Structure 1
């Protein structure tokens, strides 16, 4: 029974990774592609690693898989945030569909505040 659950989790995780890849190819703007590259791919990895951990023969193998998932959760959002921030400041990458621009509001507010001297 465990093998069936593990296999189903791995197949579902693989399907989510495939959906993420299709989204990266099909979406038009950078910000939608970033979303497609991180959300379903991360959940897909969790399902594949969870399925593999269920059938792992040793507890150390399951711990390694847990470490892989933890590192993915730590690095994927940071990496995508940095790419998005760099793309935001690159001319021509802002989408015309962007209705709310919180970063521009934040940057305007930051420019008005006096800098505190920590020298």
Structure 2
């Protein structure tokens, strides 16, 4: 994993230097806004997430190529019914979910008891 971390660091540095994630809107261009449903932290990411976010990203890039100032915000949503359902399952001691939190998300078992 150290090899992959070095690759990640290299490209993050290059992108930072190139200001690749900073907006530079051109007032003469038309505006275009696109968003997608934010992912909930209630389960591991899966291929459905990849499809959803890839479609939005491809469309945003297409509109940029067509000359639009595009805004595609991205975030995570930490409230709502899915999160409450996960909290309830943890409180009830759901073994499968507990295992996921420990193995996938690396949450210490002691911390899960606090949740």
TM range (shorter): 0.3 to 0.5
User: Given the two structures, how large is their TM-score scaled by the length of structure 1?
Assistant: 0.37
User: Given the two structures, how large is their TM-score scaled by the length of structure 2?
Assistant: 0.38
> As a proportion of its length, which structure holds more helix?
1
